[in-house]
Amino acid sequence: MIEYRTPAEIEQMRPAGQFVASVLTALRKHADVGVNLLELDELAHQMIKDRGATSCYIDYHPSFGASPFGKVLCTSVNDAVLHGLPHDYQLADGDLLSVDFAAEVDGWVADSALSVVIGTPRPQDLKLIETTEVALAAGIEAARAGNKLGDISYAIAQIATKAGYKINTDFGGHGVGRTMHGDPHVPNNGRRGRGLPLKPGLVIAIEPWFLETTDKIYTDQDGWTLRSQDGSRGSHSEHTIAITADGPIILTQRDA
C-alpha cells in the first residue's frame, strides 16, 4: 500500500534523515586503508546506541536473505554492490567501498548509501561512482509532483546508458516511512510518462546502483552479499526524499 505523508509528518522524518546522513559522513571519514569492515559496523552501532535510534538491518530477514542480517551496515567491496554483510576484512589500497545504512528515529525511517575509493583511486572507479551520483541527482530532479514514477526511472537509466553501463532492475528504490521498505518500488530503468503519478507526500528512497561491465549478479556464500557475475566492480548511491508541492526534499542530505 502506498502511503502519503502530511507536511507535518515529513518534518517529523527530518531527524531520522539527519542521523543517517551523520553516520554515513562519519563512516566516510573513518574508512581508510587497514580499517576492518567490522570496525565500521561497530562505529555505526555505537552511533545508533548514542542517539537512541534503532537499526533497520540487524533483525532484517526478507525472503531473499539466508538469515537475519545481524549487522547494522551493508558494506559492499569491489565486485560486491548491494547487501554486503560486514565481515573480517581490512580495506586495501584501491578498494571501492559502498556503504548502505538505514535507521529509525522516533518511529520514522531514513535510508541512504554512498560509495568511496579507499586510498589510491582507479579512474574507472571514479567514473562509476560519479555516474551513480549523477544518476541519483537526475532521479531526484525528476521526483516532482505531476510527473510519473517512470520519469524517475527513465532519468536514472539515461545517465547509466550514456556512460556505457547496463542496468539490473532486480533491486531498486522503494517507499520509506514507518518501515524501511514499502511501496512503490522504484526501478532504475523505466519509461518516461508511465507509472504511478507522483503526488506531494510521497516519501521514497531513490538508489541507482551500477556494475562496470555487466548487469548480472549472484548471491555470495554468506547468503546476503550480491556480487557481479563477471567480477567487475559496483557503485551505489541513495537518498531518502520527500515529494512536495515545492519540489523534492532530500531528507538524508550530507554536509560532505
The average pLDDT across 218-227 equals 96
**C-alpha pair distances (Å), 185 with each of 35, 64, 141:** 34, 16, 18
The pLDDT assigned to 39 comes to: 98
Annotated binding-site residue? 239: no
**Average pLDDT of 119-147?**
98
Is residue 246 a known part of a binding site?
A: no
The annotation status of 125 as a binding-site residue, yes or no, is no
Q: Are 176 and 243 in contact (CB under 8 A)?
A: no
Q: C-alpha grid cell for residue 255? A: 554536509
**In DSSP terms, which residues pair with 112 in a beta bridge?**
101
Taking a C-beta distance cutoff of 8 angstroms, is the pair 155, 140 a contact?
A: no
| 44-59: average pLDDT | 97
Q: What is the pLDDT of residue 65?
A: 85
More confident residue, 256 or 254: 254
Residue 63 C-alpha cell reads as 525472503
How confident is the model over 201-222, as a mean pLDDT?
Answer: 97
Question: Average pLDDT in the 181-208 region?
Answer: 97
**Distance in angstroms (rounded) separating the CA atoms of residues 14 and 33:** 33
Average pLDDT for 141-156: 98
Instruction: Mean pLDDT check: name the lowest of 28-42, 55-69, 72-86.
Output: 55-69
Q: Is 207 annotated as a binding residue?
A: yes
pLDDT value at position 128?
98
CA neighbor of 28 nearest in space, from 117, 147, 104, 143: 117
Distance CA 177, CA 188 (A): 20
Mean predicted confidence (pLDDT) in 115-120: 98
Q: How far apart are CA 160 and CA 188, in angstroms?
A: 9
The pLDDT mean for the chain works out to 97
C-alpha–C-alpha distance, residues 215 and 227, integer Å: 10
Q: Cell 549487522: give the residue.
A: 71
Confirm if 157 and 188 have CB atoms less than 8 A apart.
yes
Flag whether 141 is marked binding: no
pLDDT of residue 66: 84
What 8-state DSSP symbol labels residue 121?
P
pLDDT in tens, 80-109: 999 999 999 999 999 999 999 999 999 999
Do 214 and 166 contact (CB within 8 A), yes or no? yes
Q: How confident is the model at residue 149 (pLDDT cuts 50, 70, 90)?
A: very high
pTM of full prediction above 0.85: yes
Confidence of residue 256 (pLDDT cuts 50, 70, 90): low
Among residues 117, 39, 96, the alpha carbon closest in space to that of 71 is found at 39
The whole-number pLDDT of residue 90 equals 98
The CATH class given to the 7-250 domain equals alpha beta
Determine if residue 45 is labeled as part of a ligand binding site.
Answer: no
The C-alpha atoms of residue 219 and residue 246 are separated, in whole angstroms, by 41
- Higher pLDDT residue, 144 or 64? 144
